[in-house]
Amino acid sequence: MQIAILLFDQLTALDAVGPYETLSRIPGASVTFVAAERRAHRTDTGSLALLADATLDELAHPDIVVVPGGPGEAGARRDEATLDWVRAAHESSQWTTSVCTGSLVLAAAGLLDGRRATSHWSALGTLGAMGAEPVSERVVVDGRIMTAAGVSAGIDMGLTLAALLAGDEVAEAIQLGIEYDPQPPFDRGSLAKARPEVVEVLLSMSRFAPST
C-alpha cells in the first residue's frame, strides 16, 4: 500500500507527521513524502524541515493521498502542477485525505464540490466559499474523501483510516503503541470551548490567521 504525504514550504508539521505516525504503522504500508522537488521543505515555524524523497511525477498514483495544511497551502492551492497531481492521484486512490487547511487544496482541485468536509475552524468559511459543505467535526468522511479538522485531528484521521484499511484491532494497537491518550491541561481545544480573550490572542498570532 503506497501512501503519499504531500509536502510544500510552510506546512504545519503535525498536519503531516500526525498521519505519518499512524499510517506508517499499518502492516504492509509504505509512506513517502512527495513534493514538486526532492528537497527539504521548511515548516511554518522555520525551525523544522521535512524531506521529500520523491517528486509528484515519481508517485503519481498512490493508494492513499494525504494533504496537510499550514500557511503554505495558499501557494499550493494556486500551483497548477500540485492541483493536477491531486486530481490525477484521486482518480485512482482508495482514499484522498487532508488535515487542517489541506482541505482547501482539495477544494481548489475541485474534489470537494458539494461534499461535506472540515478544516481548521478559522478556514471553514473559506472552505464553504470554495464549494464544499463545511462541517465542524473532528473527522469527516464523504465517499472516499476524508478530511480532518485542525492540526492534531490528523492523528484521529490516521487512526480512523487505519481502522477502515486494517480493522479496529490494528488501529487500536497503533493507538496503544503511540500512547495516544489525550489528557490536555486545558479544555480549550475548540472554538466552542475557548474564552473570547483566548480567541483574540490566537488570532493576533499570524500563523493562525484565517485563510483566504
What's the number of CA atoms in the CB half-sphere (13 Å) around residue 86? 29
Q: Which three cell numbers stand for residue 86?
A: 491531486
- Give the pairing of strands 2-6 and 145-148: unpaired
Computed over every residue of the chain, the mean pLDDT equals 95
pTM of the model: 0.95
- Over 50: is that where the pLDDT of 210 sits? no
Give the C-alpha separation, 198 to 136, whole Å.
Answer: 19
- Over 50: is that where the pLDDT of 35 sits? yes
pLDDT class for 141, splitting at 50, 70, 90?
Answer: very high
Instruction: Please give the pLDDT value at position 185.
Output: 95
Instruction: Please give the pLDDT value at position 206.
Output: 60
CATH (residue range 2-183): 3.40.50.880
Instruction: Please give the pLDDT value at position 207.
Output: 60
Least confident of 59-73, 97-111, 151-165, 195-209: 195-209
Task: List the catalytic residue out of 100, 105, 155, 157.
Answer: 100
Q: Which three cell numbers stand for residue 134?
A: 463545511
Q: Going by C-beta distance under 8 Å and a sequence separation of 6 or more, which residues neighbour residue 50?
A: 7, 11, 13, 16, 17, 33, 40, 41, 43
Give the mean pLDDT of 38-48.
97
- Is residue 85 flagged as an active site residue? no
Instruction: Please give the pLDDT value at position 202.
Output: 87
Instruction: Please give the pLDDT value at position 204.
Output: 86
Question: Would you give the DSSP letter of residue 135?
Answer: -
Question: Would you give the DSSP letter of residue 61?
Answer: S
Write the pLDDT tens digit of every residue in 66-104. Answer: 999 999 999 999 999 999 999 999 999 999 999 999 999
Q: Which three cell numbers stand for residue 187?
A: 479544555
Instruction: Please give the pLDDT value at position 82.
Output: 98
Strand partners, 43: 11
Q: Which three cell numbers stand for residue 137?
A: 467535526
